[in-house]
A and B are shown apart, each in its own frame.
Chain A
Amino acid sequence: MDYTLILATALGAISLYLMLPRGRAALVKLGALIGVLALGAGLLGWFHWTAQEQAVHYPGPPAIFFYIFAAIALASAAGVVCHPRPLYAALYFVLLTLAAAALFLLLRAEFIAVVLIIIYAGAILVTYVFVIMLASPGGEIPAADYDRISADPLAAVLVSFLLLGTILQMMSYGQAALAHGPGAVPAAGPAGFGGMGMLGANLYSHYALPLELAGVLLTVSLVGAVMIARKNEPPVRMLDSGEIPAE
């Protein structure tokens, strides 16, 4: 049993439970404080793992970058979930995307990092913001009731964090087993891992057909979205000659 991780999970659950919108503002600060404690406990748990890492001597970016961006990602994810105003939640999600892109850079997935910023922060989030603005009932100043009062926070937090605690415990066991068993030393791997060329070669040699199908899927969903969101206006009648009659 890894008690630091259990503590971190429990603190995270309490903090998220306190921060979920319930029409009261005072609990948000307390929740954020406990959230910082949870991040600290998680950091301790991770340091426990990192202690074994020193022996391996992996030549990579220093771990401090991971801790910084992981904390930003988790905090902004909590912001998305807990902020009562959808527009601010979308902006927190942009922050989460940027932190994830930085983590991808640390993992030598440069192209994915750039694509994530362009597609997620650029395209998908702009769509979200547009829909939030289109579908806001009459420019209300206080957030709507269904945004200020969340549904069943206790059950949701319990379910999610039981799942997280189980995953972390199992990973802790696996970590302990792997660290002492054979095969723990990482492969040096082929030289030149990372970068766009490697990804392109992999995509077009192993996944060429799925890539084309992904393009078809995007086209289909684009047409479907246009059809769904179209206003129900009476169809324009056309003459047999293909002209639209002037009325």
Chain B
Amino acid sequence: MSNPVLYRYLALGAALFAVGLVGFLTRRNMIMIFLSTEIMFQGIAINLIAFSCYHQNAAGQSFVIFLLTIAAAEASLALGLVVMLFRRRETLNVDAWSDMQG
């Protein structure tokens, strides 16, 4: 894999991260906020795999395995929290919880 090929993938990963960040900052639905973090995870995974292929080293792929583990744990915990919060206020709007900001 040559440099330009690597840079193409890195640019794609950065763009996915930026799009996910926009979603994270603008959406007001709790589920959509977590879904936006998953987009950012995808960008990171593409970065790791691209470096793995560039250096011909399997460590990047191993890291993606761990990244998937963390993503799965995060999704299960976060969605459990969303279900609990939804039961309390009957809405998914994060603004309903703005009284928590002390």
Give the chain A neighbours of B38 by CB distance below 8 A. Answer: 93, 120, 124
- Complexed CA–CA distance, A137 and B50 (Å): 42
Contact mask B79-100 → A, CB, 8 Å, 1/0? 1111110110011111100000
For the complex, would chain B's binding face be called helix, strand, loop or mixed by DSSP majority?
helix
Chain B residues, CB < 8 A from A16: 19, 22
B83 to chain A, nearest CB (A): 5
A127→B23 contact, CB < 8 A: no
State the Cβ distance, B23 to closest chain A Cβ, in Å.
4
**Roughly how many angstroms separate A132 CA and B94 CA in the complex, as a whole number?**
15
**Selected contact of B8 from candidates A66, A97, A202, CB within 8 Å:** A66
Known: A127-B75, A228-B77. A104 touches B7 (CB 8 A): no
Q: Interface on chain A toward B: helix, strand, loop, or mixed SS?
A: helix
Question: Which residues of A have CB within 8 Å of B2?
Answer: 53, 56, 58, 185-186
Q: Which B residues are CB-close (under 8 A) to A111?
A: 61
Find chain B residues with CB under 8 A from A81 CB. 19-20, 22-23, 26-27, 36, 39
Say yes or no: A221-B25 contact (C-beta < 8 A), given A66-B8, A89-B32, A203-B65.
no
With both chains docked as a complex, state the minimum distance between the C-beta of A195 and any C-beta of chain B, in angstroms. Answer: 10
CA distance A212 to B17 in the complex (A): 29
Cα A109 to Cα B21 in complex, Å, equals 26
User: Cβ of A190 < 8 Å from any Cβ of B?
Assistant: yes
Count of chain A residues with a beta carbon within 8 Å of a chain B beta carbon: 100
Complex Cα–Cα for A49 and B5 (A): 8
Q: Is the CB of B72 within 8 A of A218?
A: yes
> Could you name 12 residue pairs across A and B whose Cβ atoms are closer than 8 Å?
A49-B7, A58-B5, A100-B42, A115-B65, A144-B93, A149-B28, A160-B21, A202-B59, A207-B66, A217-B73, A218-B73, A225-B79
A positions within 8 Å CB-CB of B: 12, 16, 20, 42, 46, 49-50, 52-53, 56, 58, 60, 63, 66, 70, 73-74, 77-78, 80-81, 86, 89-90, 93, 96-97, 100, 103-104, 107-109, 111-112, 115-116, 119-120, 123-124, 127-128, 131-132, 134-135, 137, 144-147, 149-153, 155-157, 159-161, 163-164, 167-168, 171, 174-175, 178-179, 184-187, 189-190, 193, 198-199, 201-203, 206-207, 210-211, 214, 217-218, 220-222, 224-226, 228-229, 231
Which B residues are closer than 8 A to A by beta carbons?
1-5, 7-12, 14-23, 25-29, 31-32, 34-36, 38-39, 42, 45-46, 49-50, 52-56, 58-59, 61-62, 64-66, 68-77, 79-84, 86-87, 90-95
